[in-house]
Amino acid sequence: MTATVGEEEGGTPRIVPGFEIALSGDVPPETSRPLSNGGQRPWLSAVLSGSGGLALVGFSLGLCVWELWFADGLYDFVVTNGPSRARGVSAVVSALAGAGVVLLVSLGLLAARRLARAEAIERLSRRLSPLALAAFLPLMFRWRLWQGDRDVIFLLLALLLVFGVQRLLQVAFSTEPVFGRPGFLDKTFKDGKELWQWSETFLPFAVVCLAAAGYATFFAYHTVVHHRNVLSTSLDLGLEENVIWHALHSGSLFKTTPYGGPTGNMLGEHAPYLNYLIAPIYALHQSAETILVLQAALVGGAAIPLYLVARKYLGPWLSCLVAVWYLFYPPVHGSNLYDFHYPPLAPFFLWFTLFFVLARRNVWAAVFTVLTLSVREDISFGLMIVGIFLTLTNRRPRAGLLLIVTGAAYFVAMKLIIMPIQRGGQEAFLYMFTGLLPEGGQGFGGVLKTVIANPAFTLGVVLERDKLIYLLEIFLPLAFFPLRRMVGLLCCVPGFLFTLLSTGYRPLYQISFQYTAHWTAYLFIAVIANLSWLGREAVRHGREGTGRKRAWVAAISLAMLVTTYQLGALIQHHAVRGGFGIYHFGTDSEDWERRQKLHALIAMVPPKAKIVSSENIVPQISNRPYSYTLRMGIADADYLLFSVPAGGDERAKALEVLTPGTFGVVSERGQFVLAKRGYPTDLNRGVLARVGH
């Protein structure tokens, strides 16, 4: 039986038995076996192996240089195998030239240092082996190559690259240096040791805070601009703002008129009590922009408690890197770009809860436990996962059991009792999982019955093409590292239950929606646990263990960089998805004109008038008592504000009141039309022609 590191009071490490059996599922690697000839390879075999490896490295570097040189024509060459035969010949020539140059330079350098021996050639080849994958890198950073159906090719190619790099880096780091470390570096490190140790006390934390602030600023700016460009939606930005507006002005419990009209209430669907804490902040500037800025701040700020949790088990700079990984994680970006939702806020409160529990600050742990529960009812299930983690790893077993009981009690009370009562006995969002309901089954209990009793059928639901792509997008940025040990499977339970069991509701398994938080909040806990385990393995296995740890850290960093370029929002803005489509960044002349015309019409509506609007207009006017969504019904609205052309339910609802003259058109501004109940109908005919009467 192996052991793991827990903590005493004050963060002092202690050895706790049982963790590896409970959660790792790993066995110690086999000891290396000596070769039959006493450990020495035949010199010819070593020379050929080393020379071949160096030539392969050169071939890849030569091809990489060619790809960078002909970057402008790379799209046509890769996608259509064109545009000319000459370009293909030049690629081969460049690769072969690279192979020759690297091989000659390497052998010459070894000879100059009097190291031209078979063993040295092979060692140099192993040290340089990761460069054999250099030719793939330029392809990974050309977003146009992977649009449309080619997104799967990108994910699979990135998967091969990341795992190849991890393996080759492990080989490289586990191999003795060929030339040794230059003496001046030893002296430099020795002279700067005190300064380095001093900087470790504050500099990594400062980097995390600056990175979190940069993230928050970036996403706050772009989501606010997106909203001002009339691109946000009633469901859910208008809905969520109206809940907070009513919490501030009337104290009403989850009242929201964009969803359900004059008597609309959200408690039957969700229970985000956190909106009562947001309300005082919202009072400073009563606009949807305020909660978008707050969302960006809390999502980015979650890097701070993540760093604090990691710092208890990892070094300061590695903990800093884990926090930066989180900020670059593409599923976080997609959920942040799609209007405003509560699940992306969960990691901030959940990770602070975990930190205070580990630090034995029980009062603060209790406060943040309550805050975590207030985010939304389904986050309480994640609190149970954290409690199970603490219990099985023996870090804080009693506190873990308390979190399990608290989370389970709250989840059952809200999800299975209080919320169904609000809906007349019906459970919310069951339509997302109806394909798993057995004949005669009802509620989520029926879904779980299928999952447990019919795993073959459940597996068929989970292993759909789109869900497999989704899993690649979730795990590839982390190089599948959370699954390195059994703790990762525990941290997958919320994501599995709340996203992969969906039968046909696509937003649940797309990284451009808020549901990715059911993965993010827990996978990074598994990352920290697994890195801590690798650190202990490095102590046990010396250079080989250290090499394995460094290789994984580098592989995750590469995976995060490659995927955040293609799927994230921080580097390129051409292919980023937020919500249902490609996200629109910035403001052009068309956006500016649309803003001006819409707000000219909004200015004609009294602040407390009842108004019904198109989906994209509602968030512009949801900071009022009555703001209805047109596609859900006119209700008792006094004003109608919609955009033309109208489609689907919006068109039908508008025609219901414009055709008989119940509402008369007040004014038109570009694509927007304002009508009022009982107003003269002189302008109705022209608008009806535009609507398509």
Q: What is the pLDDT of residue 267?
A: 84
What is the Cα–Cα distance from 594 to 589, expressed in whole angstroms?
Answer: 9
Is 422 found in the same domain as 288?
yes
Residue 41 has pLDDT above 70, yes or no: no
The answer on pLDDT for 4 being more than 90 is: no
Which residues does residue 13 pair with via DSSP β-bridges, in sequence order?
7
Looking at the predicted structure, is the pLDDT value of residue 193 above 60? no
Q: How far apart are CA 241 and CA 221, in angstroms?
A: 18
Which has the minimum average pLDDT: 20-24, 52-56, 239-243, 551-555?
A: 20-24
276 CB-near residues (< 8 Å, 6+ apart): 247
Q: Are 446 and 438 in contact (CB under 8 A)?
A: yes
Q: Are 206 and 199 in contact (CB under 8 A)?
A: no
Measured distance CA(91)–CA(60) in Å, rounded: 11
Residues 238, 375: one domain?
A: yes
Is 5 a member of any domain?
no
29 within some domain: no
Span 114-130, average pLDDT: 88
Q: Span 513-525, mean pLDDT?
A: 96
Distance of CA 131 to the CA centre of its chain: 29
Does the structure show a pLDDT above 90 at 111?
A: no
Tell whether 149 and 261 lie within a shared domain: no
Average pLDDT on 88-109 reads 90
Q: Output DSSP code: residue 410.
A: H
Do 72 and 214 share a structural domain? Answer: no
Whole-angstrom Cα distance, residue 527 to residue 321? 11
Residues 596, 566 share a domain: no
**Dihedral over alpha carbons 29, 33, 39, 43 (to 10 degrees):** -80
d(CA 383, CA 347): 11
Mean pLDDT is lowest, of 103-107, 171-175, 220-224, 417-421, for 417-421
Question: Pairing mode, if any, of strands 672-677 and 639-643?
Answer: antiparallel
Same-domain check for residues 338 and 450: yes
* Alpha carbons within 13 A on the beta-carbon side of 371: 19
- Do 609 and 639 meet the contact criterion of CB atoms below 8 Å apart? yes
DSSP class of residue 579 equals T
Mean pLDDT for 530-549 is 91
- Residue 33: the pLDDT is 39
* Cα dist from 128 to 494, 530, 677, whole Å: 41, 27, 76
pLDDT at 216: 98
Sign of the CA dihedral 327, 331, 335, 337?
positive
**What is the arithmetic mean of pLDDT over 368-395?**
94
Strands 627-629 and 611-613: parallel
Domain range holding 619? 590-691
pLDDT tier at 370, thresholds 50, 70, 90 = very high
In Å, the largest CA–CA distance within the chain is 101
pLDDT in tens, 42-72: 777 888 888 999 999 999 999 999 989 888 7
What confidence tens digit (pLDDT) does each residue in 232-268 have?
999 889 999 999 999 999 888 889 999 988 988 888 8
**Same-domain pairing of 471 and 540:** yes
Q: Please report where in the chains the tokens 């599923």 appear, as a residue.
A: 331
Tens digit of each residue's pLDDT (9 = 90 or more) over 154-165: 999 999 999 999
Q: What angle do CA 216, 219, 223 make, to 5 degrees?
A: 135
Q: What are phi and psi of 35, to 5 degrees?
A: -70, 155
- Domains of the chain: total: 3
pLDDT digits (tens, 9 = 90+) for 329-347: 999 999 999 999 999 999 9
454 and 529 assigned to the same domain: yes
Please answer whether residues 304 and 215 qualify as being in contact, where contact means their C-beta atoms are separated by less than 8 angstroms. no
Extract the tokens encoding 465.
Answer: 């093409």
- Whether the pLDDT of residue 681 is over 60: the answer is yes
Q: Is the pLDDT of residue 509 over 60?
A: yes
**Structural domain includes residue 35:** no
- What was the pLDDT predicted at 147? 87
Taking a C-beta distance cutoff of 8 angstroms, is the pair 596, 581 a contact? no
Q: Is the pLDDT of residue 28 over 60?
A: no
Same-domain pairing of 548 and 480:
yes
291-314 pLDDT per residue, tens = 999 999 999 999 999 999 999 999
In angstroms, the CA 559 to CA 562 distance is 5
Position 604 scores a pLDDT of 96
- Amino acid identity, position 478: L
Is 299 among the domain residues? yes
SS (H, E, C) 276-307: HHHHHHHCCCCCHHHHHHHHHHHHHHCHHHHH
Integer Cα distance of 485 and 480 in angstroms: 10
Among residues 525, 555, 578, which one ends one of the domains? 578
Measured from the Cβ of residue 186, the count of other Cβ atoms closer than 10 Å reads: 11
Q: What is the pLDDT of residue 330?
A: 97
- Provide the β-strand partners of residue 7: 13
Question: Which of 517, 549, 578 delimits the end of a domain?
Answer: 578
* Mean pLDDT across 463-484: 95
SS3 404: helix
pLDDT digit string, tens, across residues 452-463? 888 888 888 888
- Give the pairing type, strands 663-669 and 627-629: unpaired
Looking at the predicted structure, is the pLDDT value of residue 13 above 60?
no
Task: Read off the CATH number of the domain in which 600 is found.
Answer: 3.40.50
Helix, strand, or coil (residue 465): helix
Answer whether residue 37 is part of any domain. no
CB atoms within 10 A of CB 124: 24
In the chain, count H helices and then E strands: 30, 9
Both 133 and 222 in one domain: the answer is no
- State whether 562 and 666 are in the same domain: no
Q: Residue 462: inside a domain, yes or no?
A: yes
**Three-class SS of residue 628?**
strand
Query: Rounded mean pLDDT of the chain?
Result: 88
pLDDT at 623 over 90: yes
Average pLDDT over residues 496-504: 90
Which pLDDT score is estimated for 551? 95
Task: Give 593's contacts (C-beta < 8 A, 6+ positions apart).
Answer: 670
Closest CA to 95 of 71, 64, 52: 64
Asked if residue 198 has pLDDT above 70, the reply is no
- Does residue 8 lie within any of the structural domains? no
3-state secondary structure of 529: helix
Contact 623/241 with Cβ under 8 angstroms? yes
Percent of residues, the chain, with pLDDT higher than 70: 90
Within a domain: residue 208?
A: yes
DSSP 255: B
Which H or E run includes 666?
strand 663-669
What average pLDDT does the segment 262-291 reach?
92
Flag the least confident range among 3-12, 377-386, 680-689.
3-12
At 499, the pLDDT band (50, 70, 90 cuts) reads very high
Specify burial of residue 415 (Cβ count, 10 A radius: 0-12, 13-18, 19+): buried
Q: Are residues 209 and 349 in the same domain?
A: yes
**3-state class of 552 per DSSP?**
helix
Cα distances (angstroms) measured from residue 9 to each of 361, 403, 541: 10, 20, 29
